[in-house]
Chains A and B, each alone.
Chain A
Amino acid sequence: MNQRPVDLMAGMTVRHALMAAGLLEEVEQGRRVHDEWGNEVGLEGALSPGLQLWVK
């Protein structure tokens, strides 16, 4: 998440990753989450090990 590793349990989602990285409030104020290919992802989207996400 923004190049900072976060450790989560299987089944957790983008929302949990944002919480763990302390970025959820920023997203709730209108910023967007993108994957490493530049695609926007929803907060309930599934994660996979090693996935890189960015809050822009």
Chain B
Amino acid sequence: MKRSIFTILFLIIFSALISPLHAAPTSLRILYVNDFHGYAEPYKAKGDGPLQGGIAYLAARVNQLRREKPTLLLAAGDMIRGNTWANLFQGFSVIELMNAMKFDAMVVGNHEFDYGPKVLKEIIARARFPVLGANVAGLPALKPYVIKSVAGVRVGIIGLVTPETPELANPKDVQGLKFASPEATARKYLHQLRNQAEVIIILSHLGYPEDRALAEKVPGIDVIVGGHTHTKLDKPARVNDTIIVQAWEYGKVLGVLDLTRKAGKISLAKGYLEAIQPEPGQDDPAVSRIVAKYQQKMDGVLQQVVGETDVDLDADHARSRETNFGDLVTDIIRQKTGAEVALINGGTLRRSLVKGVIRQQDLYSALPFDNYLVVLKLTGGQIKEALEHGVSGVAEKAGRFPQVSGLTFTYNPAAPVGSRVKEVIIGGQPLKPEQEYTLATNDFLAAGGDKYTVFVELLKGDAAPQAQVKMGKGGKVMYSQPGKQLREVVADFLQAQGKVAPALEGRIKEVR
């Protein structure tokens, strides 16, 4: 009897000791980046201080931190598109880097769709890590989740991308794909992973406000590693029991989140962003070699001929009169978008091109801004207002001077500002102030750049909680393609056309 009691007591104590409540704490580390956008080289924006980032320096720091404890390295989307270093190679340069750095998983961001479905499939095939997208249907190569074992802990990683992706990408690049609700998708896979994973991470390209909302609504998420809003979350945020992190942009920082797991749940979470600075000798040599290899290749790609011009293309006078370069670019915009009229600011054109071959690098210097195309629906009166604003700074050769296609107009530079534009002809007919026309421009002007307030005013008046105006469907925005730059549209046209020889056509005339 005594012996039985002893045995029972022993079993109770033993089982208590081996239960999760008394298990030794487990430490694991999550390293993360988001919105890298192909910024392989150290980066400095206008208004920034010293150079920041540089993927080879970030990789070296990843190596050091990995040696300290069991680690996952995650990417929260928008990795392969943005900077020329990535764009000229359709993102394959970035995937080579990520393979070398041994990423554990990545979620697709909206910009991963910008090169089209064929390239995206090839990108996923080349990646030696799972590329996730649980709420994307129609692309089987994207996995909904992956389970990783880290220090004996099974970590389930579910990927979610913004359901607005179809509005942000070229429609043909997302044709046949469906983007489901992140909340419903998270619930579905949390349920599936309940008995398979001990820690649940949502790898999110939804944006910080949406990550917070997800954490509010869906219990059971341990960590959200986010992206899309380029948010610099210096310390992890906490919403209910969910930890949310995001690491700014362009690899300027590396996110570090250390988790301690005890008694079956996360007992401690410490996180920070580590600034990445290009210190000599502090790089990962293997990653540096990849950066340098593509840098060299870039020089070759930039030398590629995209077309030829039989005449000089004039950008020097684009701030004061019609130019053949302005005519060419606005004609290309109008053809691409199908709008009745195209208008850009002369300041878009930064360099004239001499007669002869046109290389990629010529386009980069002539059209250096990463503008994209937008088509708006305007009345004739609003178009005239835009033209009035465009010519209002002609005396000082302001960049807002318009270059146009699909319309001609006369103006008197000596007349008072606001009443200089005289005759406007669209499609061979005098402009009708009340009639609506479609006008293509660039995103810079559409957002009110160069003080073209007429375009911004156009977007007002929609219901306040839905301030972002939807395309078509009775709205004023007919076309918007953030994933394709104007420079690329011009390059495509020149490659298809072979040779151009634009001549002045009298689209803009001064009268007295």
B448 and A19 form a contact (CB under 8 A): yes
A-B CB contacts (within 8 Å), total count? 122
The 8 Å CB contact of A46, one of B228, B444, B480, is: B228
B230 and A14 form a contact (CB under 8 A): yes
Return A23 CB to nearest CB of chain B, in Å.
11
A49 and B468 form a contact (CB under 8 A): yes
Return B42 CB to nearest CB of chain A, in Å.
16
The answer for the CA separation of A7 and B456 in the assembled complex, in Å, is 7
Q: Report B446-467 CB contacts with A as 1/0, cut-off 8 Å.
A: 1111010000100111101111
Taking the complex as formed, is B168 at the interface, i.e. its CB lies under 8 A from any CB of chain A? yes
The 8 Å CB contact of B456, one of A20, A31, A51, is: A20
Return A14 CB to nearest CB of chain B, in Å.
7
Given contacts A35-B231, A39-B232, contact A10 B467 (CB under 8 A): no
Taking the complex as formed, is B116 at the interface, i.e. its CB lies under 8 A from any CB of chain A? no
What is the size category of the interface that chain B forms with chain A?
A: 35 or more
The 8 Å CB contact of B230, one of A12, A29, A42, is: A42
B466 and A6 form a contact (CB under 8 A): no
Chain B residues within an 8 Å CB radius of A14:
230
Q: Report B123-167 CB contacts with A as 1/0, cut-off 8 Å.
A: 000000000000000000000000000000000000000101001
The answer for the CA separation of A36 and B419 in the assembled complex, in Å, is 42
Taking the complex as formed, is B314 at the interface, i.e. its CB lies under 8 A from any CB of chain A? no
Query: What residue of chain B has the Cβ atom nearest to residue A7's Cβ?
Result: B459
A39 and B234 form a contact (CB under 8 A): yes
B230 and A50 form a contact (CB under 8 A): no
The answer for the CA separation of A36 and B209 in the assembled complex, in Å, is 10
**Which residues between 1 and 36 of chain A lie within 8 Å of chain B, taking CB atoms?**
5-12, 14-17, 19-20, 22, 27-31, 35
Return B493 CB to nearest CB of chain A, in Å.
23
Chain B residues within an 8 Å CB radius of A45:
35, 228-231, 249
B167 and A46 form a contact (CB under 8 A): no
Taking the complex as formed, is B45 at the interface, i.e. its CB lies under 8 A from any CB of chain A? yes
Chain A residues within an 8 Å CB radius of B47:
27-31
Return B215 CB to nearest CB of chain A, in Å.
13
Chain A residues within an 8 Å CB radius of B228:
45-46
Return A15 CB to nearest CB of chain B, in Å.
8
The 8 Å CB contact of B443, one of A6, A16, A28, A51, is: A16
Taking the complex as formed, is B57 at the interface, i.e. its CB lies under 8 A from any CB of chain A? no
Chain B residues within an 8 Å CB radius of A46:
162, 207, 228-230
A9 and B234 form a contact (CB under 8 A): no
Chain A residues within an 8 Å CB radius of B45:
43
The answer for the CA separation of A17 and B456 in the assembled complex, in Å, is 10
Taking the complex as formed, is B359 at the interface, i.e. its CB lies under 8 A from any CB of chain A? no
A40 and B471 form a contact (CB under 8 A): no
Taking the complex as formed, is B66 at the interface, i.e. its CB lies under 8 A from any CB of chain A? no
Chain B residues within an 8 Å CB radius of A12:
443, 447, 468, 482
The answer for the CA separation of A44 and B208 in the assembled complex, in Å, is 14
Return B47 CB to nearest CB of chain A, in Å.
5
Chain B residues within an 8 Å CB radius of A17:
447
Taking the complex as formed, is B308 at the interface, i.e. its CB lies under 8 A from any CB of chain A? no
Taking the complex as formed, is B233 at the interface, i.e. its CB lies under 8 A from any CB of chain A? yes
A44 and B35 form a contact (CB under 8 A): yes
**Which residues between 397 and 435 of chain B lie within 8 Å of chain A, taking CB atoms?**
none
Q: 17 more A-B contacts (CB under 8 A) besides A8-B459, A42-B248?
A: A5-B464, A7-B462, A7-B469, A9-B446, A9-B468, A9-B469, A11-B480, A20-B448, A27-B47, A30-B47, A35-B229, A37-B237, A39-B233, A40-B232, A41-B231, A45-B231, A50-B464
Q: Hey, which bits of chain B sit against chain A, CB under 8 A? A: 35, 37, 45-47, 82, 162, 164, 167-168, 207-210, 228-234, 237, 248-250, 374, 443-444, 446-449, 451, 456, 459-462, 464-471, 477, 480, 482
A-B contact pairs, 24 of them (CB 8 A): A6-B456, A8-B459, A8-B468, A9-B374, A9-B477, A10-B477, A11-B168, A11-B482, A16-B443, A16-B446, A17-B447, A20-B447, A39-B231, A40-B232, A42-B231, A42-B232, A45-B229, A46-B207, A46-B229, A47-B229, A47-B468, A48-B229, A50-B467, A51-B209
Q: Which 9 A-B pairs have the closest CB atoms?
A: A42-B230, A45-B230, A16-B447, A7-B459, A42-B249, A11-B482, A40-B232, A19-B447, A20-B448
Q: Hey, which bits of chain A sit against chain B, CB under 8 A? A: 5-12, 14-17, 19-20, 22, 27-31, 35, 37, 39-51
